[in-house]
Structure formats: C-alpha cells, structure tokens
Amino acid sequence: MSLLYQLYGEPASGRLHPLKDGRFQLVDYGPVTPFYSGYGYLIVERTLATFLAELPIERVRYENAILFDPASGAEHRDFVRIHVGQYFSHDQISDLDLDGLRLLAMNDEYLFVNSGLKDQLEGSPFDYLRFSEGLSSFAA
C-alpha cells in the first residue's frame, strides 16, 4: 500500500505574488530558494523540474517561470512552474489512487507525493526536499 507524504522545501521559501505580466514577485525579504509553493503555484529550480519531467508522473505540466525581486530589480529566470493536475481535499485522502508516481495538491496549496515518487526524490541530489507522512504536519 502506497502512503502519501507532504512535500516541502527547507529552508522555507518566501511567498510569491503573481504579476499581470506572468512573472512572480518575491514578497518576503531573503535569499532566493530553489523551491516555492503556495496557493495556486509550485515553482522550482530548473534542475528539479528537469528531473521530474523525466519521470512518468501523470497530470503534471511544466512552464518556464521568472521570479522578480522588487528590491533589486533582478529577474531570476532559472525556474519552472509546475502545474499539478490532481487535486484532493483532506476528506478524500483515503480514497486516492496512489499507483505509479503521483504528485498531488491538497486545496490547491499543499503538495503531496506518494511513496514511489518520494523514493525517487530521496535518491536525488535535491537535499532541500522534505517529507511529512500523511496529514501529520496539520495536527494540532
């Protein structure tokens, strides 16, 4: 039986704000990180996106992304937006089909992977990725 794991990056990324021209503005002060997830978006460094694109993950689409730093005016172009096409809510977690390699979004904000994809990512060079089993990080 495959389990579900919340996927996130460390150090924690700042927030992004989508701009009308398609770029994403860095909202919080701090260094640019390789992994950004928030409501309606998942933006990662290009090397991670390339790694994921080579795996047979269903219902995922990739698009170049630009991060804009308003403090410096710099644009960071080595990022990719990953559109996750499989959504669920917390009450559906026990009914999910987790066969194969799965990347899912809960409430269009929190990212999850199944055991198969977690194993692939743990064996990758992306040591900033972290995993939390099920909904354990949401417990009070």
Where does the pLDDT of residue 2 fall: very low under 50, low under 70, confident under 90, or very high at 90 and above? low
Q: How far apart are CA 10 and CA 43, in angstroms?
A: 14
Is 113 part of a structural domain of the chain? Answer: yes
Closest by alpha carbon to 13, among 47, 40, 43, 50?
Answer: 43
pTM: 0.91
For 55, the domain range is: 4-134
Our count of domains for the chain comes to 1
Is 61 part of a structural domain of the chain? Answer: yes
Is 89 part of a structural domain of the chain? Answer: yes
Is 125 part of a structural domain of the chain? Answer: yes
Is 128 part of a structural domain of the chain? Answer: yes
Q: What local confidence, expressed as pLDDT, does residue 95 receive?
A: 85
Mean pLDDT, to the nearest integer, of 99-103? 94
Least confident of 11-15, 30-34, 59-63, 83-87: 11-15
Mean pLDDT, to the nearest integer, of 19-23? 97
Is 115 part of a structural domain of the chain? Answer: yes
Is 139 part of a structural domain of the chain? Answer: no
